[in-house]
Every structure is written in structure tokens, then in C-alpha cells.
Amino acid sequence: MRKRLINGQVFDGEQFLPKEIVIENGIIQSIEDPHHAERDHPVLLDVKGAMVLPGFIDPHVHFNDPGRADWEGFPTGSSGAAAGGITTVFDMPLNSHPSANTSTVLNKKKQALQGRSYTNYGLWAGMTADVVDHEKELEAMIDCGVVGFKGFMSDSGIDDFKRLNRSALFQAMKFCAQSNSLLALHAEWEETLSRSSYLQKQSPRSFLDSRPVKAEMDAVKLAMEAAAKYGTKVHIVHVSHPDVVDIIQTAKKSGVDATLETCPHYLLFNEEDFIREGPLLKCAPPVRDSESVEGLWDRIGAGQIDFISSDHSPCPPSMKLAGVKDIRDSWGGIQSVQFGTTAFLSEAKKRGLSLSNVLPLLTSNISKRFPPLQTQGEIKVGMEAHFAIYEPAQVTLIEKQDILFRHNYSPYVGKQIEGRISHTIVHGEVVFDRPFGMIGPFVGRDICAEHSRSFDHL
């Protein structure tokens, strides 16, 4: 049955226009002038003048499912995502248990997630030191249907997710080039990290000192060198510093096929916040100084940052708050998937950046990088009907009672932001309605389910 989305200001890729959207079987059938629109079809939702945005895409979450679902799990993780206007997430391979770095584990993970997500999802496969030279296994993971491979250039903190040293990194790059797969990297170079001082001290400052920007820069330089050698498509996750952006931009200009993401916590918090707040803001790479925050915003304004991701990385409160007295005892990771999108848009508005300029970092920039997303990220006839309904003038104070992901702590609690998501629509179904929370069924699908390869990444 066809249904209508009415009274919305619809983003057409450049501007917002009053339009009605007709949806059938989860696909956009037409986008019509409201004065000439058909009235025969029932109304799916009257958005009452709000903005209709493409559903956001988050290419970097840790929902820990299966195996550590008490840390998050897809039902609660996707609830938080949908409340933030996110309609597709990419789940990382290393916090489910066991880590998804074999085809057997990947297939079991895919089976476990069926019918348990409000949002669409794709899976990253693990590229680890113990599988990098097993080409048949790597090919088998591709055949499972994945969005790409993920590797660490430093200790991951997970026993069965071994980091890539120099030789393993180059081997991974070579394989990904030959298989036309995308390689995403946590870029901190293990040999540069100053862990010795950190192991002897308990303060947040010692943690900051143990993970200097130089570790990121050294890792990214090596990654760009390897990608250039083999012609590999590479993606650098959670970039924390403008100097790292500059290294990647230089490599891009020389012909390296690279993209990069940063996260809202690197744009909204700084090291003074971490020293004050402690465990809630512990992550790797760490948040940086205020000058670095400004530098990242400058590069967003210059169009040099490709994606915004949440890097939502939860754990039980006892593991997070264990670091109140000794930061070494706290799990690293920030709970952000529900709030990062609107907090980012709010701050961008304060800084004079237009919504039309920053929206691609949450939508079309990502869909253009990943071919399984070619029918997402934009509002056009024939595209999938995924929408974030956005009320830009609504001021919201984030409170614990608002949290829909599993554990009710986050550094975003207490922040006041301008702009909120009122509804989220996935495959033409309203799954989130702000007054009521999650109201729809688990309509999320595996975006790679119909494909036997990792796709030819653009």
C-alpha cells in the first residue's frame, strides 16, 4: 500500500523544499508539490513543518552482539541509533565474542542478528595478524557479505583481535587491493605509544600523555605509504587531530584512495573536559586540546573530513566507573550513538556551518563510499525510504531518562543542544516517535545479505 509523508521541508541535496513523499514497499515512489499531490493514499506521518532528512548512516559502532550483549546488544544499540536519526549502522568486528575475524564467526553473527535490529546494518570483517596470511579465509569472509575489513595498528585491548605490525599491514594492504576490498584502520602506531609512563600513573593526564598525536601521525603516514604502494582503498577511523587530517589530504592529492572519519566527541570535548570528567570521556585516540578541536572544525568547513561516526563503544557501568580513582581501571569507549548526530549538527549551526553543507558527512558521503548503500543517503525517487525527521529549533537538555541504549551513562548527559529528531523512518516504517520512544518493529536488514562479495568500493 502506498502511504504519504506530508507537510515536510524535504532536503533535495542542496536545499529544503515543501514536498510530499509517496512511499510503497519501503521505496520512494514520488516526491510531489503539496498543492498538486495525490490525496488517495493514507498518511504515514504528518511531520508538521519539520525537516525531512535522509536517514543518517553510522559506519562505526560497537554493539557487542553476540557474545557481549550485556555490554549493549543490537536491540538496545539500534534503539539508541534510531533515536539519533540513524537508519543504518556498520558494526565493528572486535567487541562481539568471539571476534568476527573468521567466516565461521561472521556467519554465526549474521544469523544471530536477524530480526533484532531497528536499523539496517552492515558488518566489518576483522583483519588481524593471525589471519592476514590466510587468503582463503579472507576470501571466505568476503563471501559472507561484509562492508570491508577492519584492522588495528596498536593493541586493540581484545585478546583475539591481534594488531597489524608493519609486515602484516603491508600484507593486508596487498590482499585488499587484489580483492578490491576497503581496509579501515585504527591508526595509532604501537611503537610510538608511551605506555610505560601510563602504567605507573593513575591520572587522566597520564593517559593523555601515553597516547600522543605522534602515534596517530606515524600510523597514518605508514598506512598512506602502504596504500600508495598497492593501490588499496583505505579508510582511517576516528581521527582526533587536524594534523592527521592534513597527512591524509596530502596522500589523497598524490592519488591515494583514502577517506577519513572523525567523531562528535573530538569536536565537542577537549582534554580539559577529560581531566575533569575522567572515565566517561576515556577513549582511544583520546580527546585533544581545544586548539585541535578548532582545527578539526576548520577542516570540516574546508570539506576535508569525509564522515562523522559515533564510535559508540559501551560497557557495563562497573567497568566504566572503575576508573574514577584510577583511570587505568576504566574501559575505554564513549556511549554516543543516540546523541552524537544532533549534538554535531547543533555545534555546526553555532559555528555558522549550514545544514546543507554538513549533512553529507552523515549521509551521502558515506553512501557514495560503500556500494551496498547506493540506494541510501539521498532523498530521490527509487531510493529506500529511510528518513530522519528533524526539528532544528527545538532546544533539548539531554538527561539520563532519555537514554535508549543499554546503560544510562554518557558524557552527553547535561548538554543542551539545539535541534532534535522527532521521528525516524526505516523502510517506510516509523520506528521511533519522540513522545513514545521505539514504536516500530525490528525492520532493519543486513545490507550485504544479497551479495556474495564485499563489492567494488567506489
The three three-digit cell numbers of residue 295, written as one number:
582545527
Task: Look at the pTM and tell me if it is higher than 0.85.
Answer: yes
Helix (H) or strand (E) holding 83: helix 74-83
Domain 56-373, CATH class in plain words: alpha beta
Burial class (CB in 10 A: 0-12, 13-18, 19+), 36: exposed
Q: Read off the pLDDT of residues 156-211 as tens digits, 9 standing for 90 and up.
A: 999 999 999 999 999 999 999 999 999 999 999 999 997 766 667 789 999 999 99
CA neighbours closer than 13 Å in the CB half-sphere of residue 112: 21
DSSP letters, 437-457, are EE-S-----BTTTT-SS----
308 within 8 A of 264, measured Cβ to Cβ: yes
Q: Quick check: helix, strand or coil at residue 182? A: strand
Q: Of 324, 344, 334, 347, whose CA–CA distance to 409 is shortest? A: 334
The amino acid that residue 196 corresponds to is S
CA 452, CA 141: separation in Å to the nearest integer?
10
**Is 2.30.40.10 the CATH number for 3-52+383-438?**
yes
Under the banding of pLDDT at 50, 70 and 90, the label for residue 39 is confident
**pLDDT category, 458, cuts 50, 70, 90?**
very low
Q: What pLDDT is recorded for position 455?
A: 41
The Cα–Cα gap between 212 and 270 comes to: 14
Average predicted confidence (pLDDT) for the chain: 96
Domain borders along the chain are: 3-52+383-438, 56-373
Q: Dump pLDDT digits (tens) for 370-379.
A: 999 999 999 9
Cβ pair 8, 44 in contact under 8 A: no
